[in-house]
């Protein structure tokens, strides 16, 4: 077990009182100032608001930044930064002149490269050129063009076995690689000081701490993850990783934002590339839009998943992959924990995707009369035919008369929209909303105001995570008060 160095990256202008710097967690050791984005800030002011060390980065346009300075101007800024900062990022392709190196002490040099890799040998050659210059840290950040590219940085770290080299892949596909890199010797990991709405794949430093227990790095031999698009809003990594830490279980749970399920399955899972790096993919929870294709990937399919033509979990067992769905768990939880009567009740399911079909199937099996509604007629008619249920176009849907109403669409996740006209909802209807975001959805808010029985997206999440954890690890998620408090703290309404 080791501790990673945490680096908070400042990419937007700090507030006048510097509160976002002053309130960074104590475990954050470095503040990286992106001078190409912010200009040259007053280091005295920075040190008055941040207690750790300061590093200076002047990312060029060639390496994904915005700095267009001339060679002379760039070297002047870097040399000046070396006098006031504790570390200076020097780009291997343009900042290693003898005159500049003479002004930047070795202990302050962070020699870096950002670019597109062509192959592992190419990346190794790139590292050798960087490492020929004495420095405290070397950093190679690759921008992937295809899923397999994200493995190159990890393969490089595996081959080097060094503790002075950071390597990972950036972008939505490569986010998880910076977490896996810590398992392969990378000494540090960076996250934004404040959230960047323009790039959800770039985590905040607080999210790295909350979701992955950093700076503590425990050895992980198994990798689990959640796959979907979009996926970075998911709280599953936070809950699963908290449980691993509580149990001292050698695993890591990561998000995979994937456009092509087939490519991911071929390049990451079937190729055995992660096994070669010392990891074993043992389970994947599957989110939209991949639930249908996940079903046909597995060799063994549960009856419920086959009935709904949808799988939201894949579990590896003795080399074979099994597909199942935990979406119906919310219905079983409602009857078991909320005393919701299902039998002989009229239920409406809004949304006919994988989750909606699975929940409709569970309601039907529990004795409810079920009506489906969907915005798109093709998917709605398919679900109705598959399950033998009535379908109503969403434009014609009226919630009046239904005892149970389920929202199985993404509507309401941080967009302040409702999936249907809430005025038509019965005052005594049970409401189940699968959506969760940074605040309660309008459907949940409206139903709570009516004092209805409400099962919101956070309840659904926790119910499914408990079941999925058991399926993937063969163990119960820690139940005592410590885990319950940890889980509830992870599900606060203001997530970083």
Q: What is the pLDDT of residues 175-222, one digit of tens each?
A: 899 999 999 999 999 999 998 877 788 899 999 999 999 999 999 999
Residue 434: how many CB atoms within 10 A of its CB? 26
Tell whether the torsion through CA atoms of 383, 388, 389 and 393 is positive or negative. Answer: positive
Angstrom distance (rounded) from CA 135 to CA 30? 17
List of domains in the chain = 2-217 (3.20.20.70), 218-325+474-496 (3.40.50.10860), 329-455 (3.40.50.720)
Start-to-end Cα distance in the chain: 26
Q: Going by DSSP bridges, is the β-strand pair 454-455/313-317 parallel, antiparallel, or unpaired?
A: unpaired
Q: What's the pLDDT at 408?
A: 97
Instruction: List, in order, residues 6 or more apart from 102 with CB less than 8 Å away.
Output: none
Q: What's the pLDDT at 487?
A: 47
Angstrom distance (rounded) from CA 120 to CA 104? 30
For the whole model, what pTM was predicted?
0.93
Angstrom distance (rounded) from CA 458 to CA 233? 12
Tell whether the torsion through CA atoms of 450, 453, 458 and 460 is positive or negative. Answer: negative
DSSP state of 268: I
Q: What's the pLDDT at 479?
A: 74
DSSP 32-66: EEEHHHH----HHHHHHH--SEEEEE--BGGGTS-
Q: What's the pLDDT at 455?
A: 96
Angstrom distance (rounded) from CA 170 to CA 149? 10
Would you say how long the chain is, in residues? Answer: 496
Instruction: List, in order, residues 6 or more apart from 124 with CB less than 8 Å away.
Output: 156, 159
Q: Cis link prior to 473 (omega < 30° from 0)?
A: no
Q: What's the pLDDT at 147?
A: 83
Residue 130: how many CB atoms within 10 A of its CB? 20
Q: What's the pLDDT at 480?
A: 52
- Residues of the chain below pLDDT 70: 480-496
CA dihedral 102, 103, 108, 111 (to 10 degrees): -60
């Amino acid at each position: 077990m080791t501790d990673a160095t945490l680096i908070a990256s400042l990419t937007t202008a700090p507030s006048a009182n510097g509160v976002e710097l002053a309130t960074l967690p104590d475990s954050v050791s470095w503040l990286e100032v992106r001078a190409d984005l912010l200009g040259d800030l007053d280091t005295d002011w920075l040190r008055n608001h941040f207690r750790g060390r300061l590093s200076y980065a002047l990312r060029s346009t060639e390496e994904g930044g915005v700095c267009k300075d001339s060679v002379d101007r760039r070297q002047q800024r870097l040399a000046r930064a070396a006098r006031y900062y504790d570390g200076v990022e020097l780009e291997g392709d343009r900042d290693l002149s003898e005159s500049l190196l003479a002004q930047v002490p070795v202990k302050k040099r962070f020699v870096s490269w950002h670019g597109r890799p062509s192959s592992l040998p190419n990346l190794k050659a790139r590292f050798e050129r960087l490492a020929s210059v004495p420095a405290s840290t070397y950093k190679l950040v690759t921008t992937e063009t295809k899923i397999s590219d994200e493995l190159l940085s990890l393969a490089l770290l595996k081959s080097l076995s060094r503790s002075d080299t950071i390597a990972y892949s950036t972008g939505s596909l490569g986010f998880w690689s910076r977490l896996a890199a810590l398992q392969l010797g990378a000494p540090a990991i960076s996250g934004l000081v404040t959230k960047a709405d323009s790039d959800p794949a770039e985590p905040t430093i607080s999210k790295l701490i909350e979701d992955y227990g950093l700076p503590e790095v425990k050895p992980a031999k198994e990798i689990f993850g959640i796959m979907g698009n979009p996926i970075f809003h998911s709280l599953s990594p936070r809950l699963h990783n908290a449980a691993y830490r509580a149990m001292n279980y050698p695993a890591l749970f990561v998000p995979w934002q994937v456009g092509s399920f087939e490519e991911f399955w071929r390049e990451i899972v079937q190729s055995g590339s992660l096994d070669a790096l010392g990891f074993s993919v043992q389970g994947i929870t599957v989110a939209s839009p991949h639930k249908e294709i996940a079903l046909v990937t597995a060799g063994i399919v549960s009856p419920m998943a086959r009935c709904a033509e949808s799988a939201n979990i894949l579990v590896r067992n003795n080399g074979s992959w099994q597909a199942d769905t935990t979406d119906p768990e919310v219905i079983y939880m409602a009857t078991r924990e909320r005393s919701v009567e299902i039998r002989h009740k009229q239920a409406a399911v809004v949304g006919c995707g994988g989750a909606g079909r699975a929940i409709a199937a569970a309601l039907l099996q529990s004795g409810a009369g079920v009506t489906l509604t969907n915005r798109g007629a093709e998917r709605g008619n398919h679900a109705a035919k598959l399950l033998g249920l009535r379908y109503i176009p969403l434009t014609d849907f009226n919630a009046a008369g239904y005892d149970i109403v389920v929202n199985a669409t993404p509507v309401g996740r941080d967009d302040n929209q409702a999936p249907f006209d809430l005025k038509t909802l019965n005052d005594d209807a049970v409401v189940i909303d699968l959506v969760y975001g940074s605040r309660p959805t309008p459907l949940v808010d409206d139903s709570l105001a009516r004092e209805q029985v409400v099962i919101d997206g956070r309840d659904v999440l926790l119910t499914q995570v408990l079941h999925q954890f058991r399926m993937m690890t063969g163990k119960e998620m820690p139940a005592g008060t410590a885990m319950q408090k940890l889980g509830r703290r992870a599900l606060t309404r203001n997530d970083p």
